[in-house]
Amino acid sequence: MATEHLSPLDLAFWRIESADHPMHLGALAVFRAAGPGAAERAAELLTARCTAVPRLRRRIRDVLLPVGAAAWSPDPGFDPARHVFLVRTGEAVPHAAAGPLMARPLDRALPPWEAHVLAGPDPDSFAVLFKFHHALADGLGALALAATLFDEGTAPRPPARPVPEQRAGSLLRRLPGVLAARVQDVGQAMEIGAAVARAGLPLGVPAALTADSTGAGAREVACLALDLDEVNLVRKGAGGTVNDVLIALVAGALRRWLVERGDPEPWGAGPRALIPVSRRRGPGGAGGAGNRLSGYLLRLPLAESDPLGRLDRVRAAMDRNKDAGPARGAGAVALLADHVHPLGHRLGGPLVAQAARLLFDILVTSVPLPGFTFTLGGSAVREVYPLAPLARGQSLAVAVSTYKGTVHYGLVADAAAVPDLEALAGALRAELDALVREVS
């Protein structure tokens, strides 16, 4: 069997991780229990089913050639008990138990994923926290992987990785095109680098969005569910897209939260938000496993006091990003990974991790979910909160998904920098209420 090396972007995510700043994605799925013992049944099913998913049985190992590269390899001692855990918690809300679990790195000697079944005091519900290393999958890929563990017929299967053409004759025939594409790639890299330099000025970044980068710190998780109908009401009344409204809610919530806690009035251009963009979407989108990401960068208009004014500015910024496309601009930094030799990733990973604050100030990512019902052992998913990794030096990451007519915000924060994360979640609710009043 041919060796399957990590793609440049997957390798970058693997190399920038440290024990203090793990690079795994999370998804907190809250279930309506099908009956007594539903949590125990869910843990048993996850344990049994994961052995049948080849991608969940593979670990990452270093290889000799190319120097600095890494590859996927079957784990000969794969043990489901080291990946699926039943956690009995006294917490009434599952996200209270998710924070410490999100802070704990995955074991890099094992296949890089875990599933924690959280059995709380409510017999009518339980939750599962899925953790997938970013080298294993992006948000959409992680969803597809988790779906393989749900009940048959309730979720899609992950895409297969296409096998590239490697015949010598084919490569020779494609050589002129390959060389032209290489020249184009160099130009694209230079353009992205210049855009990053132009966007790098720290204008109006609140101190609350920065964290001490010298230590790990505890993690806090907060979750909030909002009515998608209310979001659509704002969209129809003010214009733009649902995603524009969801980003504007983050900007408004940050402003409210800062003012209410007594921080200085927001000023300047505002913090730089990185908005990841999946390259899987659309007829020309890339398929296969692993990460397929680019991104947009925009300033969150925290200094704007009017809710509709904030939404207008977010919509205009997103329109400019879309006109330029996801392969250009300061948000497309993920594409630069393709231009780095594997040895560069290995040696430069720690430096890149420390430079995250130079690239963006906050991550705001959206993970679309299909409309059908996910079930596990007959227990139906009622809420799904995506959770993003927290970069070194940053205090907050925001992820959002829509499922069954509900918007789910998952907030991950450095507990020392943001001890009042629940207040920020409440500010999201207040900001949506304000926008609804403005358009009603």
**What pLDDT digit, counting tens, does each position of 188-247 carry?**
444 555 555 555 555 667 888 887 755 556 899 999 999 999 999 999 999 999 999 999
User: Containing H/E element for 379?
Assistant: strand 379-387
Residue 15 is predicted with a pLDDT of: 92
* 409 Cβ neighbours under 8 A, 6+ residues apart: 223, 224, 225, 226, 385, 398, 399, 400, 425, 428
**Listed residue (26, 48, 24) closest to 148, CA to CA:** 48
Q: Which residue has the higher pLDDT, 409 or 265?
A: 409
**What pLDDT digit, counting tens, does each position of 101-148 carry?**
999 999 999 999 999 999 989 999 999 999 999 999 888 888 889 989
**CA–CA separation, 76 vs 310, rounded Å?**
54
Q: Please report, for residues 19, 192, 212, the alpha-carbon distance to residue 24 in angstroms, rounded to integers and kept in the order given.
A: 12, 26, 20
Q: Are 34 and 52 in contact (CB under 8 A)?
A: no
**CA–CA separation, 311 vs 306, rounded Å?**
9
Identify each DSSP E strand in 253-360 by its residue range. 272-278, 293-299
The yes-or-no verdict on residue 158 having pLDDT over 70 is no
Neighbours of 281 (CB within 10 A): 13
Identify each DSSP E strand in 122-267 by its residue range. 125-133, 219-227
Residue whose pair of structure tokens reads 């730089």 in the numeric block = 272
**What pLDDT digit, counting tens, does each position of 57-104 carry?**
999 999 998 999 999 999 999 999 999 999 998 887 888 899 999 999
Q: Please report, for residues 28, 106, 135, 186, the alpha-carbon distance to residue 287 in angstroms, rounded to integers and kept in the order given.
A: 25, 26, 16, 23
User: Containing H/E element for 426?
Assistant: helix 421-439
**What pLDDT digit, counting tens, does each position of 385-407 carry?**
999 999 888 899 999 999 999 99
Q: Are 366 and 25 in contact (CB under 8 A)?
A: no
